Amino acid sequence: MKEARGMVVSARMSKAVVVRIERLVQDPVYKKYITKRTKVKARDEIGCREGDVVAIVPTRPLSKDIRWRVVRVLGRKALPEAEIDTAAGKPARADVGASVTPPAKAARTPAGGGEAGQAS
């Protein structure tokens, strides 16, 4: 059975993930190696999240687009310590509750120097 490795680029669907598979291919003319990328949809029953490196295998068509299945997670992307809210157990947002005021705009005067519409 052929197995591919890839990185999860989207985990927004409930039972599927989008996996980017990268492979090196030699150019037929210039003999340089080029990275080819392919995005596939895979059935996820493990619970992957974005940034995880996973192993996937081909399977029968499960839906219109899903032709692969996630077998195992090879590496997990760890969340930075600053983003984890220990009390709630979910990522914390730094901008919540902070009041941000836009910078004040400088008053512009017409090119003539005086007020517009003023009669002399």
Confirm whether 13 is domain-assigned: yes
Confirm whether 12 is domain-assigned: yes
Within 10 angstroms of residue 3's Cβ, the number of other Cβ atoms is 10
Which pTM value belongs to this model? Answer: 0.62
CA-CA distance, 28 to 14, in Å (whole number)? 41
The residue-averaged pLDDT of 87-93 equals 53
- Domain total of the chain: 1
pLDDT at residue 85 greater than cutoff 90: no
Quote the domain boundaries for residue 35: 4-91
Confirm whether 38 is domain-assigned: yes
Confirm whether 71 is domain-assigned: yes
**pLDDT at res. 77:** 76
Domain CATH for 86: 2.40.50.140
| AA identity, residue 109 | T
CA-CA distance, 56 to 71, in Å (whole number)? 5
CA-CA distance, 18 to 2, in Å (whole number)? 18
